[in-house]
Amino acid sequence: MASAAPLYETYNRVPLRFERGEGVWLITDKGERYLDFGAGIAVSSLGHSHPHLVDALTGQAEKLWHLSNLYEIPGQERLAARLVEVTFADKAFFTNSGAEALECAIKTARRHFYINGEPERIGIVTMEGAFHGRTLATIAAGGQAKYLEGFGPKAPGFDQVPFGDLDALEAAVTDKTAGVLIEPVQGEGGIRPIDPEVLRKIRKICDDKGALLILDEVQSGVGRTGRLFAHEWAGITPDIMAVAKGIGAGFPFGVCLATASAADGMTAGTHGTTYGGNPLAMAVGNAVLDVILEDGFLDHLGDVANALSQGLVSLKDRFPDLIEDVRGKGLMLGIKCAKSNMEVVQAFRAENLLTVPAGDNVVRLLPPLNLTADEAREGLKRMEAGLEKLTRG
């Protein structure tokens, strides 16, 4: 007999049913409007139903949905060329998700050493608190017991060092290490930015020891922190980088970017995907870049983000019993709570404001990147109301 709930019970879902989205707003089947400061989880980078993205997707849908990677796909070539133009990278491989972009990144690093006479260099060093996805390799990379438990042996070759601990990292990188894999700002881990100076030192450790630097910018990338990619704040470049979430703005896709040298082992037949780089995804990705690369877009984001974070700091001063700290960069902000972060998320939701919980007792604010100053103020007003009610109990 079928059980009552046909879905896997892997999510504790909030009983809200959203039917439509308009910009930063989500509208339920009952017509209630919620201010969306989660944007999926940093996914809907241009809000909901952005007209330029809707045009791009529907225009492509009328022409051609799918092509195998057996054939040339012009949308892929165009998007890859544009990404190469604005980043450190020379090469791109398109995937369907963030975890797959990480899988490609890990395979790229190992294969580089394999074909260059160092097949024993397979190790990947990551940081505690990291999140790199839910595939068997990426849960091993994240190293968190809660995601590994019960899923068989942890994939070999992944070692974690404490967050930001340079001595431990230096000791962990050996002549068996293919790469150091880190998020410039840990997302799921609780909006924990790596200090730019630490990131520069990690780059140097990799260079000194001949290992590759792999960045996971699945959450922090595509303008989220106010630069196109978060590592730009530190003035360094990686050898390989995984990107997803914001690049598709809600259409599921990711991309692994690499230098020509790092990607030298990824020759014909070594890797592949059925759907990765699908024409629909590429149409959306190119449209997302049209908007985000527009002159002044990131400057405006920075201004709105500054106003939002200043407002949060004022809230922290007013509610020291609820807010311990405000951190993050651009529109990737975290409120470190003094009470349970789940209670704070609920209090905000009671004010029709959506936020996302994270590790380290943090509430994440990841609004659409085209948030206006008025919308930021509206969000702050709702947070203030929620915190006031929590204080009164």
Ligand X SMILES: *Cc1c(COP(=O)(O)O)cnc(C)c1O
192, 333 Cβ separation under 8 angstroms: no
CB of 183 or CB of 375, closer to ligand X: 183
234, 200 Cβ separation under 8 angstroms: yes
Quote the DSSP letter at residue 326.
Answer: E
186 is in an annotated binding site: no
Q: Compute CA 54 distance to the chain's CA centroid, rounded to the nearest angstrom.
A: 22
CB of 193 or CB of 386, closer to ligand X: 193
63: tokens are: 């022409």
Site for ligand X in 12-51 (CB under 6 A): none
Which residue reads 């908007």 in tokens? 291
Return the half-sphere exposure (C-beta side, CA atoms, 13 A cut-off) of residue 345: 19
- Tell me if 178 contacts ligand X by CB under 6 A: no
- Tell me if 367 contacts ligand X by CB under 6 A: no
Residue with nearest beta carbon to ligand X? 98
239: left (phi over 0), alpha (psi -120 to 50) or beta: alpha
Nearest approach in angstroms of CB 160 to ligand X is 15
87: tokens are: 């980043």
- Show the site string, 226-265: x = touches ligand X by CB under 6 A, - = not: ------------------xx--------------------
Q: Compute CA 244 distance to the chain's CA centroid, rounded to the nearest angstrom.
A: 6
Contacting range for ligand X; rule: CB under 6 A; set: 131-139, 171-179, 316-324, 350-358: 131-139
Local structure of 61: helix, strand or coil: helix
Nearest approach in angstroms of CB 387 to ligand X is 26
- Show the site string, 92-111: x = touches ligand X by CB under 6 A, - = not: -----xxx--x---------
Phi, then psi, of 123 in degrees rounded to 5: -70, 145
Contacting range for ligand X; rule: CB under 6 A; set: 83-91, 214-222, 360-368, 372-380: 214-222
| Helix, strand counts (H, E) of the chain | 12, 17
Q: Where are the alpha helices (DSSP H) in 32-97?
A: 39-42, 51-63, 74-86
What span, in angstroms and rounded, lies between the C-alpha atoms of 126 and 128? 7
* Total residues interacting with ligand X, rule: CB under 6 A: 15
- Tell me if 362 contacts ligand X by CB under 6 A: no
CB of 60 or CB of 97, closer to ligand X: 97
| Bridge partners for 328 per DSSP | 333
- Tell me if 183 contacts ligand X by CB under 6 A: yes
Nearest approach in angstroms of CB 74 to ligand X is 25
Of 37, 131, 233, 251, which lies in the binding site for ligand X, with binding defined by CB under 6 A?
A: 131
Nearest approach in angstroms of CB 188 to ligand X is 6
Interaction site with ligand X (CB under 6 A): 97-99, 102, 131-133, 183, 187-188, 216, 218-219, 244-245
